[in-house]
Amino acid sequence: MGNNKRKSKASSNGRNSRNGSRSTAARVGAHASSAPERSSSKNGGSQQNLRTYNIPDYRLEHPQFEIRQLTGKDKQGQEHVLYEVSGDLDAPVPPIRDSKYLDQQQAIEIYRYMLLNRKMEIALENLYKQGKVVGGVYFGLGQEACSCASAYALDKDDWFAPMIRNQGSLLVRGFRASDTMMQYMAKADSPTKGRDGTSHFGDIEKRNMVSPISMLGDLIPVMSGVALGARLQGRNIAVMTYIGDGGQSTGVTYEGINFAAVQNLGLVLIVESNLWAYSTPSNMQYRCKDLAERAIGYGIPGVIVDGTDACQVYDATHEAVERARRGQGPTLIEAKMMRMKGHAIHDAASYVPKSMFDFWKKRDPLTRFENYLVKEKKWLSQKDNQALIAEVEIVIEAEREVAVNSPMPTPESAEGGVFCENGCHEIKPKYGIPKVKKGTAAYKETEAAVHLK
């Protein structure tokens, strides 16, 4: 990226489109070129200070769409916003990129987690329709490769913090499908024992999982803090979390990444670039071409992957995790894909143009990975694939039974388990005693401290 300033015209709504044209439409899911390092130009002269940065891009296709906001009228003559999409929506589906790291058994294991993820969410939708769910349900349809393959790249000692679409990551980290189901049904045996109806639970003891925080972006500084805590105990670990293409607009996202960058903390941030933030299309959310470009401003590596390709997601996360463990700092991974349902079960996503769903349906991560394993690599015979699918269905049915049969919490139980009692949540150093020097000098009152009094 150069430092030459380009003059661009304002669009009719006061914003410039991402490709600089005078239109409210902007390109979504545009491409970027590759090469991981940032380098200084050696051209000399006026080019002397020109810095060039590159964003590696693992994708095998670069979808280009234009989304245009229009105003329509309903039958009563009421005006409402609608969106129109144009672009090459009939482009052929690209192949899965061979992984540099995954072997046959690992690839099949990721596929099984993706199947579990998909079938668990189908079961959840049914539980909701049966009136068994307290509140709403969130889905990661179309994002299973992103959740499962990224979590699969972590080791036991690494940490992670999921967001609403990462129910697959929980399965990879050892949570049972019934944990998520019971949580949504607010059952007594759920991780929060019926105190929360959605995803606000963690496990800092065994699974190194920080509970999701609903305020978008806030997990980023928290996870940076986890990495700092581990460093003070003498360890460089990877700490992974996710943020949506909408959520990354928050101020705390910037603060959290910047802190990890300057402290060289092992943050692995997966940006779930799924083209919508609630009912806002991504081109009304940010102006840069690819969100991975933001890594340049933070001074950290950024990489783009096809979020519907499990191999690409795994490889990029694996490399980011390795960097983190070597103490080389954070990485931002932009996973491009599509949110294939509404924001949550209450949202029918009728604002999304149907042709956009059709385009991404052909890129269903599960079907693509299945084809790859069965037809391309021949790592899984048709028969073994059918057996695997049947086994996953049995597991999900058994988990559903466990969840449905769990009792509701007793009214008396509401009294306990809210505040920490008798040190029940003592947080002990996990990796050793913090390696911090104890100061010997007495506290010196500074001018600033005096002033604050």
Ligand X SMILES: Cc1ncc(C[n+]2csc(CCOP(=O)(O)OP(=O)(O)O)c2C)c(N)n1
Which residue's CB is nearer to ligand X, number 151 or number 395? Answer: 151
Per the CB < 8 A criterion, the answer to whether 295 and 301 are in contact is yes
For ligand X, the binding residue among 34, 41, 48, 214 (CB under 6 A) is 214
Check: CB of residue 228 under 8 Å from CB of residue 266: no
- 117 is an interface residue for ligand X by CB under 6 A: no
**Min dist. Cβ of residue 240 to ligand X (A):** 16
Binding site partner of 278, from Mg ion, ligand X, none, Cβ cut-off 5-8 A by kind: ligand X
Shortest distance in whole angstroms from residue 139 CB to ligand X: 10
Binding at 101: pick from ligand X, Mg ion, none (beta carbon under 5-8 Å per type): none
β-bridge partners, 51: 40
What is the distance, to the nearest Å, from the Cα of residue 287 to the centroid of all Cα atoms in its chain?
20
- 332 vs 396, beta carbon nearer Mg ion: 332
Q: Which CB sits closer to ligand X, 178 or 274?
A: 274
As a whole number of angstroms, the distance between CA 100 and CA 21 comes to 39
Footprint of ligand X on residues 242-281 (CB under 6 A)? 244-247, 250, 272, 274, 276-278
**With contact defined as beta carbons under 8 Å apart, do 251 and 211 qualify?**
no
Q: Is there a catalytic annotation at residue 31?
A: no
CB 223 within 8 A of CB 241: yes
Among 348, 244, 331, residue whose Cα is nearest residue 296: 331
Catalytic site residue from 339, 363, 368, 400: 339
How many residues bind to ligand X according to rule CB under 6 A? 16
Residue with Cβ nearer ligand X (318 or 339): 339
Asked if residue 386 binds ligand X (CB under 6 A), the reply is no
The sign of the dihedral angle between the CA atoms of 433, 435, 441, 446 is negative
Which CB sits closer to ligand X, 154 or 216? 216
343 belongs to the catalytic site = yes
State the binding partner of 128 from ligand X, Mg ion, none, CB within 5 to 8 A by kind: none
Is the CB of residue 183 less than 8 Å from the CB of residue 201? yes
What is the token pair recorded at 25?
């439409």
State the nearest-atom distance from the C-beta of 447 to ligand X, in Å: 36
Q: Which of Mg ion, ligand X, none interacts with 221 (beta carbon under 5 to 8 A by kind)?
A: none
Rounded CA separation 367/96 (Å) = 11
Residue 155-194 contact track with ligand X, rule CB under 6 A, x = bound: ----------x-----------------------------
Q: Minimal distance in Å, beta carbon 438 to ligand X?
A: 38
Does the protein bind ligand X through residue 343 (CB under 6 A)? yes
For Mg ion, give the closer residue by CB, 227 or 337.
Answer: 337
Query: Coil, helix or strand for 52?
Result: strand
Q: Which H or E run includes 386?
A: helix 382-405
Q: Of residues 31, 68, 325, 351, which has the active-site annotation?
A: 351
**Which residues make up the interface to Mg ion (CB under 5 A)?**
244-246, 274, 277
Q: Is 351 a catalytic residue?
A: yes
Answer with the entry of ligand X, Mg ion, none that 250 interacts with (C-beta below 5 to 8 A by kind). Answer: ligand X
Distance from first CA to last CA of the chain, Å, rounded? Answer: 47
364, 144 contact by CB (below 8 A): no
Instruction: Tell me the closest approach of the beta carbon of residue 377 to ligand X, in angstroms.
Output: 30
Q: What is the DSSP letter of 331?
A: E
Residue number of the CB atom closest to ligand X: 244
Q: Which is nearer to ligand X, 231 or 341 (CB)?
A: 341
Q: What angle do CA 147, 153, 158 make, to 5 degrees?
A: 100
Distances (CA, A) of 424 to 123, 183, 418, 420: 34, 21, 11, 6
At its nearest, how many Å lie between ligand X and the CB of residue 274? 5
289: nearest Cα among 239, 245, 251: 245
* Closest listed residue to residue 248, CA positions, set 298, 198, 200: 298
Q: Which residue numbers are catalytic?
A: 339, 343, 351
Binding residues (CB under 6 A) for ligand X: these are 165, 214-216, 244-247, 250, 272, 274, 276-278, 339, 343
